[in-house]
Chain A
Amino acid sequence: MHKPSSYELFRGFLTVGLYGFGGVLPWARWMMVEKRQWVDTVTFNEMEAFAQAMPGPNVINLSVVVGARYQGLPGALAALGGLIVMPFLIVITLGLAYDRWGAIPAIHDTLAAVSAAAAGLVIATAAKMLKPMITRRSAVRLLFCALAFTGVGFLGYSLVWVLLALAPVSVWLAWRRTA
């Protein structure tokens, strides 16, 4: 295993940020485990589980964990900065283009079509997460999923309240299951 410097952390996550179209995590795994060999598979899985259990996007959390592990605060800042800087600049450029040309009918229509497809991507993401949950033993999990969906999607409740109401119970039940 190679212990990366802050500069290497920045460089590594810079490329991850650029590659990650439609899912950054596979690239992060490939870069950290296979290409640069900063961590082994077991450590990566542990870090990933932690990154997923915390609020915030998975990959961003992962960059903070890895950076902190090897170089403390400077490392976390370097990894996080590397990950976010290029996507930030690219999306700003796209935003600029949208402001300038978004009202042109042809572009407006194209974006309308792309936004219909983008809704489909989000639905597919949910479906992919749902698939492993449809087993006999996970009726409780499906119930929490349905309650969250109904509360936010149909009843228009604030996500914060729904989360505060459901998550503690759901986590407590999961804690008991893992005993």
Chain B
Amino acid sequence: MSVSRILINLLTHFGFLSLVAFGGGNAVLPEMHRMVVEQMHWMSDGDFSRLFAVAQAAPGPNVLMVTLIGWKMAGLAGALVATLAMIVPSSVAVFSLSRLWMRYEHTRITRALREGVVPVTLGFIAAGGLLLAKAADTSWPFFCVTVAAALFTYATKYNPLWALGGAALLGIAGVI
């Protein structure tokens, strides 16, 4: 596939994804996986989960996975195109509607939207977690790391970065 074809694909796919990304970046993770791994065959399951791990290691909002996918496919241009495609459409919607929303009191609509959309996006995020675990947990020690990291993040107030760091240490030490 030529670079310009890849850029166009990144632009259209992520541009569309941006408008359905209710619940943020993690909610569209299953769809990203579907597109990048299953439909376009741009990378393997393992590549996808490792890129996600790299994205988690950077600060900032969780759209950076898209940046890395773009980067891997078409370098700096790919990273820019993918990131802008993921950010601009939803931001334009927010910008245009925020005026309206500030002018009138639309709290009931906002509440209904949020309350109605949250359960659905929660299902998507859980599905994303499942997909990532399936890709990353190639043997039972990895499975144990996933469970331990989930428990640590769920049950304590420590920064989840510690869980990633702990796993990195186990990896470096060759324990798993």
Residue contact B108 to A120, C-beta cutoff 8 Å: no
Residue contact B20 to A55, C-beta cutoff 8 Å: yes
Chain B residue total in the interface (Cβ 8 A): 105
Chain A residue total in the interface (Cβ 8 A): 95
Question: A32 on the interface (CB 8 Å rule)?
Answer: no
Residues of B within 8 A of A3 (CB): none
Nearest A residue to B116, CB-CB: A171
Residue contact A56 to B60, C-beta cutoff 8 Å: no
Question: Given contacts A64-B91, A152-B123, are A125 and B56 in contact (CB under 8 A)?
Answer: no
CA distance A53 to B142 in the complex (A): 35
Question: Given contacts A59-B61, A86-B59, A91-B58, are A22 and B21 in contact (CB under 8 A)?
Answer: no
Chain B, residues 8-23, CB within 8 Å of chain A (1/0): the string is 0000000010111110
Contact pick for A111, options B50, B110, B160, CB 8 Å: B50
Most buried by A among B25, B91, B102, B131: B91
Question: B81 on the interface (CB 8 Å rule)?
Answer: no
Interface residues of B in 116-173 (CB under 8 A from A): 116-133, 135-138, 142-143, 145-154, 159-161, 163-164, 166-168, 170-172
Question: B68 on the interface (CB 8 Å rule)?
Answer: yes
CA distance A90 to B61 in the complex (A): 12
Residue contact A118 to B136, C-beta cutoff 8 Å: yes
Residue contact B68 to A144, C-beta cutoff 8 Å: no
Residues of B within 8 A of A120 (CB): 129, 133, 145-153, 163
**Nearest chain A CB to B66's CB is how many angstroms away?**
10
Nearest A residue to B39, CB-CB: A158
**Nearest chain B CB to A164's CB is how many angstroms away?**
8
**Nearest chain B CB to A68's CB is how many angstroms away?**
5
Nearest A residue to B96, CB-CB: A68
Residue contact A121 to B56, C-beta cutoff 8 Å: yes
CA distance A152 to B101 in the complex (A): 32
Residue contact A64 to B120, C-beta cutoff 8 Å: no
CA distance A87 to B19 in the complex (A): 22
Nearest B residue to A146, CB-CB: B123
Residues of A within 8 A of B102 (CB): 69
Contact pick for A171, options B93, B112, B142, B161, CB 8 Å: B112
Contact pick for A174, options B31, B61, B111, B122, CB 8 Å: B111
Question: Given contacts A56-B87, A148-B122, are A19 and B59 in contact (CB under 8 A)?
Answer: yes
**Interface of B toward A, CB cutoff 8 Å:** 16, 18-22, 24-26, 28-31, 34, 46, 49-64, 67-68, 71-72, 76, 79, 83, 87, 90-91, 93-95, 97-99, 101-102, 107-133, 135-138, 142-143, 145-154, 159-161, 163-164, 166-168, 170-172, 174, 176
**Interface of A toward B, CB cutoff 8 Å:** 17-24, 46, 49-61, 64-65, 68-69, 73, 76, 80, 83-84, 86-88, 90-92, 94-95, 98-99, 102, 106, 109-130, 133, 141-142, 144-154, 156, 158-160, 162-163, 166-167, 170-175, 177-178
| Given A109-B171, A116-B136, A120-B145, 5 new contacts (CB under 8 A) | A53-B113, A69-B98, A87-B58, A167-B120, A171-B117
25 contacts between A and B (CB under 8 A): A24-B60, A54-B94, A55-B93, A56-B18, A57-B61, A60-B91, A64-B98, A91-B54, A92-B79, A95-B79, A113-B145, A114-B168, A119-B149, A120-B148, A122-B29, A125-B125, A129-B118, A133-B119, A145-B126, A158-B34, A159-B28, A160-B16, A163-B124, A171-B116, A178-B115
